[in-house]
Amino acid sequence: MTTPAKKSLKNIVILISGRGSNMEVFLEAATSGALAGNIVSVISNRPDAQGIITARNRGIATTVIDHQQFATREAFDAALADEVAAHNPDVVVLAGFMRILTPVFINRFLGKLVNIHPSLLPKYAGLHTHQRAIDAGDKEAGATVHYVTNELDGGPAILQARVNIANTDDAQTLACKVLEVEHLIFPEAVNWHLQGRVVHANQGAQLDGELLPPTGAQWKHPRGE
C-alpha cells in the first residue's frame, strides 16, 4: 500500500482591495525564502486594485471578483469563498481587504483567517483609526495582526507593534509610521500560524501553547527601538 505524499509547502491565499503594500512584503518574503508557505493566489474585490497589477507582474496567479457584480453581500461572499477554497489554503491573509465579510465566508475558513488592522486593538476597531488616536490625545498607535471572527476587528490578537505619536503627526504621517511596522509584523505572525506555533483556539489565540492577552504578543523591534 502506498501512503499519500505528505504536503510540505503550505498554501497562502491573499485578499486585497487596493495598494497592496502588505501583499508585496509577502511576495518579497516568499522570494527570499523567509515565508513558511507558497503564495498560491492573490484575489481582489476591486478590478482597479494596484496590488493586482503588482502581483501579476511578479507571476502570481490573480483573480478579481468584483463585489459590485453581486446583488447581496452574502452572494459575493459565497463566490469569494468558492474561489478561495479552490486553492486549498492553510491561511487566508486579509492584506488591506476592505469589505466586511459575513458568516457565509468567515465560517468556512475560521481558524485560518488572519487580518491586519491599523490600530492597537482592542482600541479603534473600524475605520479612521489614525485620526481617532490623534483626536483622543493618545501617545501611541500601532498595528495588530489578529484572527478573524464574526465580530468586526474583534478576533483574538496574535501580534501587535507600537509606534510613538509625535505632536506634529497628522493622520497621514501616522499612517506611514504604522505601515512600516505592519510590514514587519504581518509575515512574522503568518509564519507563526503556518508553523503551528500560533493557533486560533476556543479561548483565544495561543502562542506556543500559552493563551495570549487581548492585545496579542508585543513586537520587539530587532534594533531595540
User: Binding site residues, as ranges?
Assistant: 20-22, 73, 98-101, 115
- 182 sits near ligand GAR (criterion: CB under 6 A): yes
Residues with Cβ within 8 Å of residue 218, at least 6 apart in sequence? 159, 160, 161, 162
Nearer to ligand GAR, 9 or 127 (CB): 127
**Is residue 130 part of the contact set for ligand GAR (CB under 6 A)?**
no
If one asks whether residue 96 binds ligand GAR (CB under 6 A), the answer comes out as yes
Number of residues that bind ligand GAR (CB under 6 A): 15
Nearest to 153 by CA among 216, 112, 100: 100
The helix or strand, by DSSP H or E, that contains position 178, with its residue range, turns out to be helix 171-194
Is 200 known to be catalytic? no
Rounded to the nearest whole angstrom, what is the least distance from the CB of residue 177 to ligand GAR in the complex? 11
Q: From CA 7, how far away is CA 220, in angstroms rounded? A: 33
Query: Which residue lies nearer to ligand GAR by CB, 177 or 193?
Result: 177
Residue choice 20, 89, 142, 156 for contact with ligand GAR (CB under 6 A): 20
- Nearest residue to ligand GAR on Cβ basis: 96
* CA nearest to 181, candidates 156, 214, 159, 205: 159
Smallest Cα–Cα separation from 12: which of 93, 107, 94?
Answer: 93
- Binding segment (CB under 6 A) for ligand GAR, from list 2-10, 114-122, 156-164, 210-218: 114-122
* Phi and psi angles of residue 74, each rounded to the nearest 5 degrees, phi first: -65, -40
Q: Which residue among the candidates 117, 183, 193, 200 is catalytic per the annotation?
A: 117
* Beta carbon of residue 3, minimum distance to ligand GAR (angstroms, whole number): 40
Site pattern 39..78 for ligand GAR (x: CB under 6 A): ------------x---------------------------
How far is the C-alpha of 132 from the C-alpha of 73, rounded, in Å?
Answer: 28
Nearest in space to 21 (alpha carbons), one of 93, 95, 127: 95
DSSP 3-state assignment of 100? Answer: coil
Q: Which of residues 138-157 bind ligand GAR (CB under 6 A)?
A: 143
Q: Binding to ligand GAR by residue 95, rule CB under 6 A? A: yes
Q: Looking at the annotation, which residues are catalytic?
A: 117
